[in-house]
Amino acid sequence: MKINPIYSLLTFVLGVTFTFQSCTDLDEELFSDITADNFFQTEEEFISALGRAYQSLAGLGNHSGLWSINELASDEIVIATKGGDWFDGGVLLQLHQHEFLPDNPFFQNSWNFLYGGINNCNRLILSFEQLDNPNSAAFIAELRALRVLFYYWAMDAFGNIPLVIDFTATESPTNSSRQDIYNFLQSELAEIIPLLPVAKDGTTYGRMTKWAALMIRMKLYLNAEVYTGTPRWTEAAADAEEIIYNGPFNLEPVYRDNFVINNASSNENILVYPYDKVFAHGFNWVMMTLHIASQFSFNLTEQPWNGYQTVQEFYNSYVDPDQNPGTQGPVWKGLALEQTDGTIDGRLSNFLVGPQYRDDGSRLEDPGVEPLDPTGRNGDPDGPPVTFMPYINEIWPNGLRQSGARIGKYEFERGGTANMSNDFVIFRLGDAILSLAEAKYRLGDTGEALDLVNQIRERAGNLDPFTTLDDEKLLAERGREMYVEMTRRQDLIRFKKYGSAWWPYQGMNRPKRVHSTGSHLELFPIPEPQLLANPNLKQNPGYN
């Protein structure tokens, strides 16, 4: 976590109530005589107000929001029901099996996260526009860029959403089409990109810059055929090239360094949200994925929840099961990280697998291991050791409590709390390089596409370079590189793999395919509470 102007002044702005006009007629009790007119005089004061808008991003790193719906609906992550744990009314199974219901609370949480951020941006944009201050123009552009980020995520997830940019509006909004939202974002980015800062230093860390805005536009173009029906590969390539060849970023020599506890020094990360275990809470992956007993592995102050697991087949895309048969099947007896040809994918740091140990190096035990655990470890005379198995027996009703490789992408702090201090990566150069490779591949330039993909493979470790490229290889390489960075669902849709049947988990009492199919499932439903609160909204097709 890196201290920056937005973060350091955030605590001040949260303690101040400004006399901003809102879209409601609630009477506000004033606790301060600081107003917009007498406060926004210096750059530091502007930045402190910006902190409230950026704080809206804090929900990215916790359970049951936008990150969760994207990851659980993909082939990367699942949360198996483990006896009495994690059924949660079936909402998690719905997400993974593509049986989306509008009353699933995860959709409402995601909607509130997105429109809370949009609302904060709209409020501050209005306040800054009312000032007679030459400093306000640059900050308005920055807020518009942040608003674009929220709208980009909202359009990708929900498609036909309200477009609200006037904080004083009092009428309930209607849906705008996905095409209209796309056009708005494209227009906004064209106007604000020239106005945004280009530096990569302490003054711009964790803030919207030209490069972050270009990443959003690159992704709009990369997915344009999905969003609008018209591909925009040339434009996607142009923005990716601007970031890669003219931006102040370089691939970190070690993949893992982008996600360590103190990852502010990464030369690859383009936009992050700076979490901190004391001052900026909300990054809870250490709780969400680790086994209950893992508290003693990392000497954590709280007990983890034993939830999020990596889908076995996705894990196997790193470790070839044909060369490592021990990584799959109903009997799992160990893990071979090194393949028989000697190649090692350094991105296996994305996972926690194999035997787990206490902080002092002694073996970690799990007295609650199930009698049905197929490894036979429950008969160990010294007690059943904790061993994370890539193998997942079933996702309901009796998933094994030690099954599934756990999310290890971000370094977990020994002696840490439920809140992590790693800065959450939103955009980074590795994504831009693979996006350029895909755009070039779609345009027929397979030579450059191969070179770009092999840059990523070379950085990953002692991997043989690809000599040919096809959709399957490109999608798989994106998956390995971008694991749990909230891109997989989008990638599956773009590569037309999202409607494919998930794998048949052994033991599942489902005679049909494991998840529902249909093109309407490429959008999540508009949350039911929003439809009830606003009769002007219409549900997405296929959910009525």
Checking if the pLDDT of 320 tops 70, the result is no
Taking CA 226 as the corner, what is the angle to CA 448 and CA 224, rounded to the nearest 5 degrees? 55
From 247-261, 269-283, 388-402, the region with the lowest mean pLDDT? 388-402
- Residue 363 or residue 305, greater confidence: 305
Contact 46, 147 (CB under 8 A): no
Torsion of CA 2, 268, 307, 318, to 10 degrees: -160
User: What's the 3-state SS for 314-329?
Assistant: HHCCCCCCCCCHHHCC
DSSP line for 45-57: HHHHHHHHHHGGG
Q: Which helix (H) or strand (E) holds 532?
A: helix 528-533
Checking if the pLDDT of 375 tops 90, the result is no
**Taking residues 473-479, what's their average pLDDT?**
98
Checking if the pLDDT of 450 tops 90, the result is yes
As a whole number of angstroms, the distance between CA 280 and CA 397 comes to 36
SS3 124: helix
Contact 421, 281 (CB under 8 A): no
Distance of CA 245 to the CA centre of its chain: 25
**Taking residues 339-354, what's their average pLDDT?**
78
pLDDT at 45: 83
**Taking residues 76-100, what's their average pLDDT?**
95
Residue 90 CB coordination number (10 Å): 14
Local confidence band at 44 (pLDDT 50, 70, 90 cut-offs): confident
Report the percent of the chain where pLDDT is more than 70. 84
pLDDT at 376: 58
Local confidence band at 462 (pLDDT 50, 70, 90 cut-offs): confident
pLDDT at 508: 46
**Model-level pTM greater than 0.75?**
yes
Per-residue pLDDT reduced to its tens digit, 123-175: 999 999 998 888 899 999 999 999 999 999 999 999 999 999 999 998 999 99
As a whole number of angstroms, the distance between CA 222 and CA 442 comes to 10
Q: Which residues touch 34 (CB under 8 Å, ≥6 apart)?
A: 16, 18
Residue found by looking up tokens 């004061």 in the block:
45
Contact 286, 298 (CB under 8 A): yes
From the number of C-beta atoms within 10 Å of its C-beta (0-12, 13-18, 19+), residue 532 rates as exposed
Helices (H), 105-248: 105-129, 136-158, 178-192, 210-222, 224-228, 233-246
pLDDT at 341: 45
From 38-42, 69-73, 350-354, the region with the lowest mean pLDDT? 38-42
Local confidence band at 276 (pLDDT 50, 70, 90 cut-offs): very high
DSSP line for 350-362: GEE-EE-B-TTSS
Q: Which helix (H) or strand (E) holds 424?
A: strand 424-428
Residue found by looking up tokens 């409607």 in the block:
499
Local confidence band at 335 (pLDDT 50, 70, 90 cut-offs): very low
pLDDT at 5: 47
pLDDT at 518: 85
pLDDT at 370: 87
pLDDT at 398: 92
Per-residue pLDDT reduced to its tens digit, 12-25: 333 333 333 333 33
Per-residue pLDDT reduced to its tens digit, 180-231: 999 999 999 999 999 999 999 999 999 999 999 999 999 999 999 999 999 9
Checking if the pLDDT of 319 tops 70, the result is yes
pLDDT at 133: 86
Residue 27 has phi, psi (to 5 degrees) of: -75, 125
From 18-32, 185-199, 308-322, 523-537, the region with the lowest mean pLDDT? 18-32
From the number of C-beta atoms within 10 Å of its C-beta (0-12, 13-18, 19+), residue 260 rates as middle
- Residue 510 or residue 315, greater confidence: 315
The whole-chain average pLDDT of the chain stands at: 87
**CA-to-CA dists, residue 205 to 55, 358, 474, angstroms:** 14, 36, 31
Local confidence band at 505 (pLDDT 50, 70, 90 cut-offs): low
Residue found by looking up tokens 């997830």 in the block:
157
From 213-217, 241-245, 460-464, 486-490, the region with the lowest mean pLDDT? 460-464
SS3 406: strand
Where does the chain hold its CATH 1.25.40.390 domain(s)? 5-281+523-533
DSSP line for 47-90: HHHHHHHHGGGGGGGSTTSHHHHHHHTTTSEE---BTTBS-GGG
Checking if the pLDDT of 503 tops 50, the result is yes
Range 5-281+523-533: architecture per CATH: Alpha Horseshoe (1.25)
